[in-house]
Amino acid sequence: MTAFIEGLPKAELHVHLEGTLEPEHIFELASRNKIELEYKTPQDVIDAYDFHDLPSFLKIYYAAMGVLHTEQDFYELTYHYFERAAKDNVVYVEPFFDPQGHTSRGVDFDTIINGIHRAQEDARKNLGIESNLIMCFLRDMSAESAAEHLQMSLPFKDWIIGVGLDSDEKDNPPTKFQQVFADARQAGYKLTMHCDVNQKDILGHIRECIDIIKVDRIDHGINALEDEALCADIVKHDLGLTVCPVSNRFVVQSLTSNEIRTMLEKNMKVTINSDDPGYFRAYLTDNFIALTEEGHFSEQELTQLARNAFDAAWLDDADKAHYQQRINDYISG
């Protein structure tokens, strides 16, 4: 089964570029940018990863991204991720980036996006990985700050396919950003939002995403299973769900394999993703393998999960057909 998973052509729709920062790279960047770390070795950094809920993860995540300063830093961050993803047979990615995590430290928006974009171009040329970038707003910052970043992004509109919403969900509902997301839609962006696992008011957040924000996709969204009407609306609107099994395990002590199987049975477009693989120490293939160990998924179920990701991607029909054919060729080859 491991060999089958490794070879399967995959798409990844929920990976935070800043969440791909590897401990060795944290050290390299800190040294280059003359930043003192409180750790002596990359292993000390890993040993300090003690995540049990979203805030405990975010604290470490924002502190570590402080080593990213120059365009070259953002280039390397992104290109290293693509190199790692290529080993997992990932052929298409819609990665997130968090500009407010950097502009708040004095890094220019142009610096961030130029570095990321150059890496996307090189990954296309050198690794054969296509990608489309998603800009996330930090939901624990103000709607005004999100609106300012939407404006900053507009000169780079051709390099960004959509906007998302991440960071601390508690008391930061989708409707806080209703106007910004309406403006983003007007600008031509696709829309997605995190509805993280087991958050306060989570069912209300999922409902707002569907009815008010009218998202094109939902990130996580596992809790929708607690409400039949939500499940029915997710199917009716054909909304992809980007579930992250290893990431979930830090919060719910399970890879949510039962929930993922139930979603498949209900015809919900559930996909498998890595979220923050540098921190959770599991890239996409690792997520598929861990999930299969817990849930004993068949080749057919795993193939459906991989197909769902290409289907839920923000690609045109011809591109989707091309990727589905790659899966057909793999299965029949």
Determine if 275 is a binding residue for ligand ADE (CB under 6 A).
Answer: yes
CA distance 47 to 41: 10
Please, are residues 213 and 174 in contact by the beta-carbon 8 Å criterion? yes
Binding mask 176-205 toward ligand ADE (x if CB under 6 A, else -) reads ------------------x-x---------
Q: Give the footprint of Zn ion on this chain (CB under 5 A).
A: 275
Helix ranges restricted to H, the chain: 2-7, 23-32, 42-47, 54-64, 71-87, 100-103, 109-127, 143-153, 178-186, 202-208, 228-236, 245-252, 257-265, 277-280, 284-295, 299-312, 317-332
Q: Please report whether residue 206 would count as binding ligand ADE according to CB under 6 A.
A: no
Question: Does residue 12 touch ligand ADE according to CB under 6 A?
Answer: no
User: Which of 9, 245 has the CB closer to ligand ADE?
Assistant: 245
Which of 248/257 has CB closer to ligand ADE?
248
Rounded Cα–Cα distance for residues 58 and 103 (Å): 17
Task: Tell me how far apart the alpha carbons of residues 204 and 223 are, in angstroms, rounded to a whole number.
Answer: 11
194 phi, psi to nearest 5 deg: -70, 135
Q: Closer CB to Zn ion, residue 259 or residue 275?
A: 275
Nearest distance, CB of residue 244 and Zn ion, angstroms? 6
Nearer to ligand ADE, 167 or 257 (CB): 167
Which token pair is 256?
């949510």
Residue with Cβ nearer Zn ion (71 or 166): 166
Q: Looking at 5, 54, 202, 260, which residue binds ligand ADE (CB under 6 A)?
A: 54
Interface residues with ligand ADE (CB under 6 A) are 16, 19, 54, 61, 166-167, 194, 196, 247, 275-276
